[in-house]
Structure 1
Amino acid sequence: MDPHPRTSSQVEGPMPLAIVGVAFEFPQEATSMERFWQMVQDGRTASTEFPSSRLNIDAFYHPDQERPSSIPVRCGNFVKENIGAFDAPFFSIAPEEAACMDPQHRRMLETAYHALEDAGIPIAKCAGSDAVVYTGCFTNDYLSVLQQDYEAEQRHAAMGIAPSMLANRIRAQGWDYLNVGGANLVYHPNFMKMMSDFNFLSPDGRSWSFDQRANGYARGEGMAVIVVKRLADALRDGDTIRAVIRNTGSNQDGRTPGITQPSQEAQISLIKDAYKQANIDMGPTRFFEAHGTGTPVGDPIEANAIGKAFSDHRSAADPLYIGAVKANIGHLEGCSGLAGVIKALLVLEKGLIPPIAGFTSLNHVIDAQALHLCVGAPLSNRHAATN
């Protein structure tokens, strides 16, 4: 790394960003970098039956997907700690107010604090700083619970903070650091029923990423926050830089056979554009952390798109390795992207390419041999330049 990096105005392309702090709570024992990496390295899964603390799965489960008012799924990936636990006094929050807060909100406060702690940014320094906060979530299970209690629902609704959160925007200048977070907790049957009705969920409670057994995704719980600075600022401040984000990107699938079916052409274009905009050579990339939800349609589209995007840069002797953390901890939905970022960060730090948990046989629609892809290989110490 250049010890005297050029400023953003001198560098063509997007401003490089540094990840300087990380905190998360993923399913089961994956609550620290060491334990999470051990799970990924060993190719283990966090899938278990629904804990009784979430819901009585025996009251809702039935293997017949067509049966009304039932759920054909018994398993998922759940955090171990009591989701009702919250140190409200630490955040100067009254007990009555804490009782109205979505548990995802409570856990995000705690995770954000630990991320800032990991970044070496004390709370006193946060006060008055120009910090930008981006958070994501997927469901509103807590609201579904509160709707069964009219008085509690009114107290909860009165606490709306969405307008102030949506007002946060990144500008070219004027911010000191970013807190980027996501949260997902699962404890109400309504959304489970809706997702299973659309055939999104695996009856096995497993995400068989890129596997011939792929039959839908497994839901997962988790919270994660990363603290991000401009690379030049992180070097100036002497921060520990865990990884550098050279570019990000998104696009739209356009017209496809179904609204949930991705476009291979759009994905190829997105990958190539992300590298081109950042002036990065695609050649050194050896590892690609994929979406890999474990769906029989989406997985082959994604894997073949990745292979075609890198087709000019890989060979049979030097393939592109593909990973998917959803096979370990399920689809964390509003937190899933950060789970992939954190796993990719660890792959770079460890210099190892871990296996895909539970992988046995490649989906036959994925043309791995022609596209020089390596999917589901055992633990490898190949140089892991990563995407």
Structure 2
Amino acid sequence: MQEPVAIVGVAALLPGSPTVAEFWRAVVGGRDLMTDVPASRWLVEDHYDADPRAVDKTYGRRGAFLPDVEFDPLRYGIPPNNLSAIDTTQLLALVVAERVLADCTGRPVDPERVSVMVGASSLERMVEASARLQRPVWLRALREHGVPDDAARSICDQIAAHYVPWQEETFPGLLTNVVAGRIANRFDLRGVNHTTDAACASSLAAVYNGIAELRLGQSDLVVTGGVDTMNDVTMYTCFTRTPALSPTGDCRPFAADADGTMLGEGLVLFALKRLTDAERDGDRVYAVIRGVGASSDGRGAAIYAPVPDGQALALRRAYAAAGYGPETVELVEAHGTGTGAGDTAEFAALRAVFDASGRADRQWCALGSVKSQIGHTKSAAGAAGLLKAVLAVHHKVLPPTIKVDRPHPDLDVARSPFYLNTAARPWVRAAGTHPRRASVSSFGFGGTNFHCTIEEYPGGVVRRMPAAPTEFVLLGAESTVDLRARVGRLDTGGDL
């Protein structure tokens, strides 16, 4: 069993949810945050075609998108003139990083012992910056069609004017590693800083690295998670050609009518400490990470085809590191993309490991995926799932997965350890048993697999995030004075 790691800070920007508290309300309320593609991302009339075989087109026209976010460049030391050359992901990561550091309630950590490890795979600015370099192609095509040279050059100038000119800030502004670099630079954090690319498993890969950093004793606090704001037409075309997008425009993980995934945007960051340090420093602990397992699929049918045996290996390694078996886990936040191949392979891996636990009863573990609400946030997908699971154990609530009217019959869910939880309900446990436990999976192209095990932190301070406009709260304390103090904190929105 490995040293437990505490999650002592959380922050996020997710579709329809500019804060963590609003994300939790959206999850518990079962809100569907899919919308048509806004014109601020790309124009549907320019790129959409219902025919999946149409050349250089996408049959996707819906997704999940971040709300507008106010950004003051001077607050983060960025000259306003440089903004257009810097990728949105880098900018918004600064906002979320500031929030996650502010959410840490314990004793400050020496900046030389604070590291930043973030999952990031691709930035939109790279595509836009590269487009200007196609001028020779445009010019050649115009000349080949008989356009006079002066007119051809003028037309090329007009096309280039639609793209941000190259400048000194362009190079760092389009690099994924600078997502972490800007955070370390702005907040004067002098531990390790880098990003990790494991495609759609990038954020859990970053968490995996961050936990290793803590267990090696190289850092005392790690800011980690995943970021992805690239919902441009390039990404839609990639998923169209795979093909993985839902032709009906919805994501229904493990459902009988599932027909593909949907794309989302998101930034989710966590602050991690060794549990012993968090307890010593008086931190609020949202949840405890007991183990993270990782594996590769090895040889498979295709580089993008999931392999159940490879995923099962990551699960077994996670529970070996955690020091307990899957028979004690009552919530799995799956990768759950809604694709036929992906869901089938993932369920097979989960069932193989959970069936082998020796527990004879059936359907003891809730299974779900936040992608049904916010789509596939790619590099941030694992972090979004981890945030949902962390808030579930923190609030003692089993959250829903929406749009699943009927499980896919091929999965034989009724005879498995799992049930698809479609409504929020209290997570009730008998006194004296083990803490509430959840697990989170994330997988990426190239056969890279991660599984993270978490459990609640009994008796800790609870950060209330009301899930409804009106709530009934039962409070208890050792004395009248203590009870009045708890009521006072409740009135002011403080921790309980």
In the other structure, the counterpart of 1:153 is 166
CA distance in 2: counterparts of 1:298 and 1:201, whole angstroms: 12
CA distance in 2: counterparts of 1:351 and 1:362, whole angstroms: 25
Q: Secondary structure at the match of 1:53?
A: coil
Matched, 1:38 2:25: yes
In the other structure, the counterpart of 1:114 is 99
Aligned-residue offset at 1:154: 4.6
Matched, 1:79 2:123: no
CA distance in 2: counterparts of 1:317 and 1:254, whole angstroms: 31
Aligned residue identity for 2:165: A
Aligned residue identity for 2:250: R
In the other structure, the counterpart of 1:7 is none
In the other structure, the counterpart of 1:257 is 301
Aligned-residue offset at 1:330: 0.6
Aligned-residue offset at 1:196: 0.5
Match of 2:48 among 61, 68, 79: 61
Aligned-residue offset at 1:185: 1.3
Where does structure 1 differ by over 6 angstroms across 4 or more consecutive aligned residues? Answer: none
Give the conservation status (yes or no) of the 8 Å contact 1:129–1:176: no
In the other structure, the counterpart of 1:51 is 38
**Which 10-residue stretch deviates more, 292-301 or 125-134?**
125-134
Match of 1:358 among 403, 407, 412: 403
In the other structure, the counterpart of 2:438 is 386
Aligned residue identity for 2:42: L
Give the conservation status (yes or no) of the 8 Å contact 1:308–1:371: no
CA distance in 2: counterparts of 1:273 and 1:178, whole angstroms: 22
Aligned residue identity for 2:21: E
Aligned-residue offset at 1:318: 5.3
Give the conservation status (yes or no) of the 8 Å contact 2:47–2:58: yes
Match of 2:285 among 241, 247, 251: 241
In the other structure, the counterpart of 1:162 is 177
In the other structure, the counterpart of 2:57 is 70
Give the conservation status (yes or no) of the 8 Å contact 2:28–2:424: yes
CA distance in 1: counterparts of 2:318 and 2:397, whole angstroms: 24
CA distance in 1: counterparts of 2:76 and 2:106, whole angstroms: 17
Aligned-residue offset at 1:325: 0.8
Aligned-residue offset at 1:220: 0.3
Aligned-residue offset at 1:43: 2.2
In the other structure, the counterpart of 2:6 is 18
Q: Secondary structure at the match of 2:326?
A: coil
In the other structure, the counterpart of 2:119 is 136
CA distance in 2: counterparts of 1:329 and 1:213, whole angstroms: 18
Aligned-residue offset at 1:231: 0.6
Flag the 1:367–1:119 CA change in 2: closer, same or farther, 3 A: same
Aligned residue identity for 1:140: L
Give the conservation status (yes or no) of the 8 Å contact 1:352–1:379: yes
In the other structure, the counterpart of 1:212 is 256
Match of 1:285 among 309, 325, 329: 329
Matched, 1:195 2:210: no
CA distance in 2: counterparts of 1:356 and 1:126, whole angstroms: 38
Match of 1:295 among 326, 339, 350: 339
- Superimposed CA distance per residue, residues 103-148 of structure 1 (whole angstroms, 9 cap, x where no aligned partner): 10000011000000011379xx577432111112232212212233
Flag the 1:265–1:317 CA change in 2: closer, same or farther, 3 A: closer
In the other structure, the counterpart of 1:232 is 276
Aligned-residue offset at 1:363: 1.5
Matched, 1:27 2:10: no
In the other structure, the counterpart of 1:335 is 380
Give the conservation status (yes or no) of the 8 Å contact 2:330–2:365: yes
Alignment of 1:178-193 (within 5 A): 178-193=222-237
Aligned-residue offset at 1:303: 1.5
Q: Secondary structure at the match of 1:152?
A: coil
Give the conservation status (yes or no) of the 8 Å contact 1:20–1:227: yes
Aligned-residue offset at 1:235: 0.3
Matched, 1:89 2:89: no
- Superimposed CA distance per residue, residues 175-227 of structure 1 (whole angstroms, 9 cap, x where no aligned partner): 12000032111353123212201102222332211112222211101111110
Give the conservation status (yes or no) of the 8 Å contact 1:145–1:188: no
In the other structure, the counterpart of 2:348 is 304
Determine which structure has more spread, i.e. the larger CA radius of gyration: 2
Aligned-residue offset at 1:377: 3.9
Give the superposed CA RMSD. 2.4
Q: Secondary structure at the match of 1:308?
A: helix
Percent identity over paired residues: 27
Give the conservation status (yes or no) of the 8 Å contact 2:290–2:321: no
**How many aligned positions are there?**
370
In the other structure, the counterpart of 2:455 is none
CA distance in 1: counterparts of 2:362 and 2:242, whole angstroms: 41
Q: Secondary structure at the match of 1:215?
A: coil
* TM value normalised by structure 1: 0.88
Aligned-residue offset at 1:322: 0.5
CA distance in 2: counterparts of 1:346 and 1:187, whole angstroms: 26
More helix by share: 2
Give the conservation status (yes or no) of the 8 Å contact 1:316–1:369: no
Flag the 1:257–1:161 CA change in 2: closer, same or farther, 3 A: closer
Give the conservation status (yes or no) of the 8 Å contact 1:108–1:181: no
Structure 1: segments with no counterpart, 5+ residues: 1-12
Q: Secondary structure at the match of 2:57?
A: coil
Give the conservation status (yes or no) of the 8 Å contact 1:286–1:321: yes
Give the conservation status (yes or no) of the 8 Å contact 1:220–1:333: yes
Give the conservation status (yes or no) of the 8 Å contact 1:356–1:376: yes
CA distance in 2: counterparts of 1:318 and 1:191, whole angstroms: 37
In the other structure, the counterpart of 2:390 is 345
* TM value normalised by structure 2: 0.70
Structure 2: segments with no counterpart, 5+ residues: 134-163, 182-192, 196-208, 429-435, 440-496
**Which 10-residue stretch deviates more, 212-221 or 163-172?**
163-172
